[in-house]
Chain A
Amino acid sequence: MSAVAGEVASGRVLMRGNEAVAQGALDAGCRCFFGYPITPQNQIPDYLARHLPEVGGIFLQAESEVSAINMVYGAAAAGRRVMTASSSPGISLKQEGISYLAGAELPCVIINVMRGGPGLGNIAPGQGDYFQAVKGGGHGDYHTLVLAPWSVQELYNLTRDAFDLADRYRTPTLVLADAVLGQMMEPMEFSRPPVDPASLPVPSWATTGARGRAKNIINSLYIVPEEQEQVCLRIQARYQEAAQRDTRWEGQYLEDAELVLVAYGTSARVCLTAMETLRAGGRRVGLFRPITLFPYPEQALAELSGRASLILVVEMNLGQMVQDVRRIVFGRCPVHFYGRTGGVVPTPAELVRAVEALERAR
């Protein structure tokens, strides 16, 4: 569907995931996008190339992923809401810039429509970038906030929310999607009015020209180690505040669940289908779906692991989030893992078989 930005901003529409991301950015008041072509996220820049100029925004196809993220750095330094989007290999190229954005305490939104890897991999859906997304990604002592949508509706909602979080915590914020989510079409609703960019305050720290005020400096260089340490501590305190205020998760059938599936994004959708089959067969299975991957909803998972008898983590990789889950569960119940990788999406049937095999082994 080739929605027109101004017209779709209300009501219920059928939309492609990547286009929902782009519309989410527009409705968040974002008026600049810098990106580089890479599959499977190309509908994001295509959509914004059509619709940003209509609203007086900036769309620029950069010469490289590296340049795109540094253009983001410049626009963020100027105090504007700004976004870039890419897919796994392109996100690797952006990591230098993301580290500088984190170090300079600049807000921005980065979309990763993950594909199979490592290396050039393929254009099929993957979740192999979990470690890169939640553990920092680039050099130095930092994280980015990470949101993990599982539907077209959430691609739209969480892209909007990502701008608010980025501004609140002065940090680059990632939306971690995958090729299934980016390419699929679903009905979705525009329940919130769009943000008028003119209503967004220009931050006092922004480099907009020192008119009637002292100069501003945007920088991540602190040559005295103790000063750099203070900056890292300040940034760390924001993560801790985000952990208190802004972790999100969703549960399905957790009230009576003995076996809890833990998954995000496309994996969680496969889990949902498998769970319905398993529950129809009388098995008390539930789903815990983290929506923020950093900060992780640790307290909720820890409490749940005290009640569950078994946890099965399902990922489209060979075991990344499961390491965080084991750390959080801390032995309160057994944690098992099921993963497919390289761009392969597990089927609900194979998850059902995996759960049945686990139960036979108990």
Chain B
Amino acid sequence: MNQVFSRPDSLLDLRMHYCPGCTHGIIHRLIAEVIDELHLRERVVGVCPVGCAVFAYDYFDCDMIEAAHGRAPAVATGVKRVLPESIVFTYQGDGDLASIGAGEIMHAAARGERITVFFINNAVYGMTGGQMAPTTLLGQKTSTTPGGRNPQAAGYPVPVCEMLSTLTGPAYIARVAVTSPNYVTQARRAIKRAFEVQVQGLGFSLVEIISTCPSQWGMSPLEACHWAEEHMLPQYPLREFVEPREVAK
């Protein structure tokens, strides 16, 4: 019998701590598949965030660093500058990247730092109990916006890809989702593209991945996927914002 599907080499066979129905598992797998496909495992140094993905350093079978909250792009910069042949990625949630780490991501992008950033946007702080994130939608209920996010008090969602794509430094910026099989396939393509941009030394690459949090949204995994598509995608449209100049159409 031919085996047609198996765990990627770059992902270890461990029990993950993620909640049932969480999309981190899908995203971990996609990243690991691409690392395998591009034969990068022995060159990769990954940098994990503070948040739900804090233990990701255990799951990937490559060198991994745990960074302070929001600081992963700065840590990745330090690694990449001294090891230019390495392939450095960060894995960051919305609170980590777009709130406490807004300065670090902005300037890593502005410098055209040759790193790859995976930005997991599920519009909520998962690990700490469902607080408002910078990407929380208007009207969305969280533990710190119990009446729904009111812009008069809590401001507006932060569109990371749109903001960073105004800079000259980024070589590739895309927003994808993992809420349906079709979207997962597109996400894998974007993840591969982002790594290839780094391998080719073209500049900064970032993939924002619209994700779900069934636990903190109070939904079943399937309901959460539907909610994300219905409510998040209008606010966070899926597309490629910046493409490498060499291959731009």
Contacts and interface: CB of A to CB of B under 8 A. Distances in A.
Interface of A: 31-32, 34, 58, 60, 62-64, 66-68, 70-78, 80, 82, 96-97, 100, 104, 207-212, 215-221
Contact of B78 (A66, A74, A104): A74
B78 A71 contact: yes
B45 A208 contact: yes
Nearest to B104: A67
A71 B75 contact: yes
A209 B83 contact: yes
Interface of B: 41-45, 47, 54-55, 57-58, 60-68, 71, 74-83, 86-87, 103-104, 106-107
Q: Closest 6 CB pairs between A and B?
A: A74-B78, A70-B74, A63-B107, A207-B63, A71-B78, A74-B75
B83 A67 contact: no
Contacts of B58: 217
Contact of A74 (B41, B60, B65, B107): B65
Given A63-B107, A77-B79, A215 B71 contact: no
B77 A221 contact: no
A97 B41 CA distance: 28
6 contacts: A70-B68, A71-B74, A73-B68, A77-B65, A78-B86, A208-B63
Contact of A221 (B54, B76, B79): B54
Contacts of A70: 67-68, 71, 74-75, 78, 104
Given A96-B68, A208-B86, A209-B86, A71 B77 contact: yes
B66 A220 contact: yes
A78 B82 contact: yes
Contact of A207 (B68, B79, B107): B79
Nearest to A206: B63
Nearest to A60: B81
A30 to B, nearest CB: 11
A104 B66 CA distance: 9
A33 to B, nearest CB: 10
Contacts of A63: 103-104, 106-107
Contacts of B81: 32, 58, 60, 71, 74-75
B45 to A, nearest CB: 5
Contacts of A77: 45, 65, 75, 78-79
B91 to A, nearest CB: 14
Nearest to B64: A217
Contacts of A75: 78-79, 81-82
Contacts of B57: 217, 219
Contact of B74 (A66, A78, A82): A66
A211 B45 contact: no
Nearest to B43: A209
A82 to B, nearest CB: 7
A215 B61 contact: yes
A211 B42 contact: yes
